[in-house]
Amino acid sequence: MRDCSRVLCSLIALFLFLAVNGVHGDSPYRFYTWKITYGDIYPLGVKQQGILINGQFPGPHIDAITNDNLIITVYNYLREPFLISWDGLQQRKNSWMDGLPGTTCPIPPGKSFTYVLQAKDQIGSHFYFPSLGFHKAAGAFGGIRIWSRPRIPVPFPPPAWDFIILAGDWFKTNHYILRRLLDSGRNLPSPDGLLINGRGWNGNTFTVDQGRTYRFRISNVGIATSINFRIQGHMMKLIEVEGSHTLQNSYAALDIHLGQSYSVLVTADQPVKDYYIVVSSRFTSRVLTTTSILHYSNSKIGVSGPVPGGPTTQINWSLNQARSIRRNLTASGPRPNPQGSYHYGMIKISRTITLANSAPYINGKQRYAINSVSFIPGDTPLKLADHFNIPGVFSLGSIPSSPTYGNPYLATSVMPANFRDFVEIVFQNWEETVQSYHMNGYNFFVVGMDGGQWTPASRGSYNLRDTVSRCTVQVYPRAWTAIFVALDNVGMWNIRSENWARQYLGQQFYLRVYSPVNSWRDEYPIPKGARLCGRARGRRTRHL
C-alpha cells in the first residue's frame, strides 16, 4: 500500500510539473541535451574560435511534429553568459522561454538551463540562434523542422528527402572583436564570405536520384547580408514560408533576406551529372558567392564551367518576386482547416503603429534607432521586471508608436499593446539599405510593400485576400512594408532588425501585449525553474 502511494504521489508530482511548465501531457515529448563549448573551426579556410553545440558547427537540427513538447537542457561551458532564442517558434502564452535578454536570464558560465517549449499549432521551417552579444557571428545556430501531424493533409506528395540549408555571410574576425568595434562606435567591415551549412566553396554535397523530388529548407542565418539562392539548371517550386503553405510558383532564383526561411521542392529532372548550388550576396557593392554541389547518384561528371549568375543590386526584381509569394488558401495549416478560413482582410484595424528606422550618432558613437529611440538593455529581463513589478527597469510608452523625427535618445524601449487587438504595423525605411524585421511570438500578414512614403491611401494597394503569413519581412530602400497582426499571444515580445549590428546598437524594442485577466487561459505562470537575475535575483518564482 505504501509503495502504491509512493507511485501515485510521483505520478501526481510529474503531472503538476508538466502542467505548471506550460506543456501538454497529451502531446509527445522530445528531450535534448546540449553542451555549449568553444572549438576550432575553419569555415573560410582560416582557423577561428567557433561556438559549438555538442561539438557541432552548425548545431544539431531539431525535428518536431505540430504540438510536440521540446525539453532542451543547455549546459554553458563558455567563459561568458549564453542564451539561445528560437526564430519562428511562437512560444504561445510562454514568453518566459523566448530566450532573449528581455525575457530570459542568461545561462552563467558553468551552469545549465532547461528550455520547456512547445511547437503549438505550428509547422514549417525555422532555426535557432544565440541571442547574446555577438555570439551569432560565431555559430551555435541550427535548423528547426516542424512536420505536420500524420492526419493533416499536406499540399504536395512526400519528397524523397528533406535537406536543411543554413546559409549566410561570415566574418573571419572573431565575434568578440566585432563586438568591440561596435562598442567603440565603429562600423563592421564587409563580410569575408558566405557559408552553406558552415562551409565555404563546394563544401557540401547533396546527393539525389534522377527523377525524384526533394525538399530544401533554406534559412538566411547571416548577420548583415541578403542572399540569393539557386540551383544550376533546376527550377524551385516554393511550397512554404516560415510555417505557411504557399501557392506553388516556380522560381529559378530566390531572394532570402536576413532571418528569413523558405522551403522549396526541386525535381532531379536533368541529365546525370553534378550541378552547382549557389548562394550569392544581394545589394552589395562586392558580390560574394559560395557553392555546394547537387550530386546525381551514379554521376561521373563533376561541376564545371562558370557558376550561374544571379541578381545583384536590382531592387525591383526582388520587390516583384516578394509580391508574387502568396498563401495557399485551400491547404491545411497545422490544423485541418484551410489556411484561407481566417479572413484577415475583413477584420477592423484597432490601431496603426508606424516604425521608422534611422542611423543616428548618439554621444559621438554610431547607434541605430526606431522612432528616434535606440534601445539599451535593462539591468533585469523586462519580462521579470514586469512580473515582479520592479520599478525603474523600463517605462511603458518609452518608444512612441509613430515617428517623431526628433533628437535621438537611448532608452529601454517598451511599447504597450492590448491583448486581442488587431494591429497594422508600417515599417518605413528612409535609408539606402534593405532592412529586415522580425517579430517574436507571432506570425503576421504582409499586406503591402512599395517605394516612397506610406500614407493611409497606400491601403488601397493592400493584398487583403491571400498574402503570406510569416515572422520576418524585408523593407526595401526608401520604401515601406505594412503588416497586419492579431495580438493573441500575451507576453513581452521583441521586434528587431535582423541586421545584427543594428540590433546590437539599438534597432529593436519590446511590445508588451497585456491582458488584465490573471489566468492561465491567457498566459502561463512564471516557470518554477526560471532563472532570476538582475534585480529579480533572490525573489521566488512560485510553489509547485
pLDDT of residue 2: 38
Radius of gyration of the chain (CA): 23
Residue 20 falls inside a structural domain: no
Residue 121 falls inside a structural domain: yes
Q: Where are the beta strands (DSSP E) in 102-225?
A: 112-118, 124-130, 142-147, 162-170, 193-196, 205-208, 213-220
Residue 21 has pLDDT above 80, yes or no: no
Distance CA 386, CA 222 (A): 32
- The answer to whether 71 touches 31, Cβ cutoff 8 Å, is yes
Domain co-membership, 234 together with 305: yes
Residue 14 has pLDDT above 80, yes or no: no
Residue 10 has pLDDT above 50, yes or no: no
DSSP structure string for 361-395: EETTEE--EETTEEE---SS-HHHHHHTT-TTS-E
Distance CA 85, CA 359 (A): 26
pLDDT confidence of 518, banded at 50, 70, 90?
confident
User: Cβ contacts of residue 540 below 8 Å, gap of 6+?
Assistant: none
**By mean pLDDT, which of 117-131, 314-328, 516-530 is the weakest?**
516-530
Residue 238 falls inside a structural domain: yes
pLDDT tens track for 166-213:
999 999 999 999 999 999 999 999 999 999 999 999 999 999 999 999
Residue 9 has pLDDT above 50, yes or no: no
Residue 247 falls inside a structural domain: yes
pLDDT tens track for 23-35:
555 789 999 999 9
CATH number of the domain where residue 132 is located? 2.60.40.420
Residue appearing with cell numbers 532608452:
411
Domain stops at, among 147, 179, 212: 147
Residue 512 falls inside a structural domain: yes
The residue range of the domain holding 259 is 161-324
pLDDT of residue 463: 98
pLDDT tens track for 330-360:
999 999 999 999 999 999 999 999 999 999 9
User: Cβ contacts of residue 397 below 8 Å, gap of 6+?
Assistant: 414, 415, 416
Phi/psi region, residue 172 (left: phi>0; alpha: psi -120 to 50; beta: rest), is: alpha
Domain co-membership, 441 together with 470: yes
Side-chain half-sphere of 408: how many Cα atoms within 13 Å? 24
Domain co-membership, 169 together with 277: yes
- Percent of all residues in the chain with a pLDDT value above 70, rounded to a whole number: 95
- The answer to whether 84 touches 70, Cβ cutoff 8 Å, is no
Domain co-membership, 166 together with 109: no
pLDDT of residue 23: 52
DSSP structure string for 7-58: HHHHHHHHHHHHHHTT--TTS-EEEEEEEEEEEEE-TTSS-EEEEEETTBSS
Domain co-membership, 367 together with 314: no
Domain stops at, among 277, 295, 324: 324
Instruction: Please count the structural domains in the chain.
Output: 3
Side-chain half-sphere of 90: how many Cα atoms within 13 Å? 25
Domain co-membership, 173 together with 122: no
Residue 321 has pLDDT above 60, yes or no: yes
Query: Among 86, 97, 82, which Cα is nearest to 64's?
Result: 86
pLDDT tens track for 204-253:
999 999 999 999 999 999 999 999 999 999 999 999 999 999 999 999 99
Intra-chain end-to-end CA distance of the chain, in Å: 25
Domain co-membership, 235 together with 100: no
- The answer to whether 396 touches 416, Cβ cutoff 8 Å, is yes
pLDDT tens track for 379-416:
999 999 999 999 999 999 999 999 998 999 999 999 99
Domain co-membership, 309 together with 373: no
Domain co-membership, 57 together with 182: no
DSSP structure string for 263-303: EEEEE--S-SSEEEEEEEEES-SS--EEEEEEEETT-----
**What is the length of the chain?**
544
Domain co-membership, 167 together with 281: yes
Domain stops at, among 324, 352, 379: 324
Average model confidence (pLDDT) for the chain?
94
Report the amino acid identity of residue 294: L
Domain co-membership, 445 together with 372: yes
pLDDT tens track for 133-174:
999 999 999 999 999 999 999 999 999 999 999 999 999 999
Domain co-membership, 80 together with 211: no
Residue 6 has pLDDT above 50, yes or no: no
Distance CA 460, CA 483 (A): 14
Q: What is the mean pLDDT of residues 285-312?
A: 97
Q: Where are the beta strands (DSSP E) in 394-443?
A: 395-396, 409-411, 413-418, 422-429, 435-439
Residue 396 falls inside a structural domain: yes
Per-residue DSSP letter, 502: H
Cβ neighbourhood burial of 174 (10 Å; 0-12, 13-18, 19+): middle
Residue 1 falls inside a structural domain: no
Sign of CA dihedral 135, 502, 473, 411: positive
Residue 538 falls inside a structural domain: no
Distance CA 361, CA 367 (A): 6
